[in-house]
Structure 1
Amino acid sequence: MTDRPEPGSAEWNDYLAEGNAKQARKRVTADALLRDTAGRLLLVRPTYKDGWDLPGGMAEANESPTDAVRRELREELGLNVQLNALLCVDWITPHGPWDDLLAFIFDGGTLTESQCARLRPQDEELSACAFFDEAKALEHLLDRQRLRTTQALAALKDRVPRYLENGNPTW
């Protein structure tokens, strides 16, 4: 029989911390569907990868997905938005040098005309931002992001969040 520390003691917390350190970690990204008053989708062009993307980005250690997307929108676009709903969560298998990842998309609502008029990239991670009608926006997105965004748009319409694996519904 193993001597286990007494729950609540400093030794117990050390025991739990050791177990926590050995458990798997997941990368998390959080994006927002943002629209203008004409219903067009906002896309951003990152400087560190090809193609266009939804606004948002990677969560930092111990940061919630909602806090991550709000922070990224503030840092990269100078936007403060109210998130309306979770649209989808997508589990993405390991690919290339990357481990698996959980990708969240939230409904960021419709930006006002004045927000749209002031919209500019605020840091070096973005080279551009623009609104596109839905079909054109989907054409601009890379395959994995296109699948996820298509499902997020469907969730926006029918108000049923989606769980996806590699951009595809599992049921």
Structure 2
Amino acid sequence: MKPTPADPEAWNAYLAEGNAKQARKRVAADVILRNADGDYLLVKPTYKPGWDLPGGMAEANEAPDGAAVRELREELGLSIELQRLLVVDWVTPHGPWDDQIAFIFDGGVLESGAADLSPKDGELSEVKFVSVDAAKSLLPVRLLRRFESAVQVLTDGIPRYLRDGVS
């Protein structure tokens, strides 16, 4: 017989068993940050090749927007208030990785201190502001499609849901 809410202890054990069997999703949370010239911030991680958007992976039970804010504080020393959600991208399993949900948030324009921005921990080796065209030659294809969609949302205001970077 299946437990019911009338027996809270048995009911919670039953729900916990179901929860343990359900799929877990990795969650990435990146941020689009611009300078006063309209260029976009890219970061160069030390733990993988190439350039990336600022942000990172959410910790267990951490909200995506909270992860983005935490990552910017840890890696760049920035305290920002996110403005809005731009993109959600379901990324299919690839290489050794299971699928993931990738978010991109609008971090707005950094008015002051943008030129003095530098890595604050060992996860980043460089930061730089680049044009959209320059980003196209620096970002990996999977991320580039997500980035281009996010930039489009800044123009038209319509958030995007993507599957592997494609709407």
TM-score by length of 1: 0.94
Output one character per residue of 1:136-160: Cα deviation in whole Å (capped at 9) or x when no partner.
0222100000000001111111000
Alignment-derived partner of residue 168 in structure 1: 166
Unaligned 5+ runs, structure 1? none
- What is the one-letter code of the residue matched to 1:57? G
Q: CA RMSD in A?
A: 1.1
Alignment-derived partner of residue 61 in structure 2: 62
Matched residues in 2 for 1:158 and 1:7: separation? Answer: 51
Q: Percent identity?
A: 56
- What is the one-letter code of the residue matched to 1:47? T
Alignment of 1:19-30 (within 5 A): 19-30=18-29
The Cα shift of 1:7 comes to 4.1
Moved more, 7-16 or 128-137: 7-16
Unaligned 5+ runs, structure 2? none
- What is the one-letter code of the residue matched to 1:35? R
Output one character per residue of 1:16-42: Cα deviation in whole Å (capped at 9) or x when no partner.
111101100000000000000000000
Alignment-derived partner of residue 122 in structure 1: 120
Secondary structure of residue in 1 paired with 2:24: coil
Alignment-derived partner of residue 151 in structure 1: 149
> Do the aligned partners of residues 8 and 37 (structure 1) sit closer, same or farther apart at CA in structure 2, a change above 3 Å counting?
farther
> Do the aligned partners of residues 43 and 15 (structure 1) sit closer, same or farther apart at CA in structure 2, a change above 3 Å counting?
same
Matched residues in 2 for 1:7 and 1:157: separation? Answer: 53
Matched residues in 1 for 2:7 and 2:107: separation? Answer: 41
Matched residues in 2 for 1:3 and 1:44: separation? Answer: 51
Matched residues in 2 for 1:140 and 1:160: separation? Answer: 25
Determine whether 1:41 maps to 2:40. yes
Q: Which runs of 4+ in 1 moved over 6 A?
A: none
- What is the one-letter code of the residue matched to 2:102? A
TM-score by length of 2: 0.97
- What is the one-letter code of the residue matched to 2:97? W
Secondary structure of residue in 2 paired with 1:6: coil
The Cα shift of 1:168 comes to 0.2
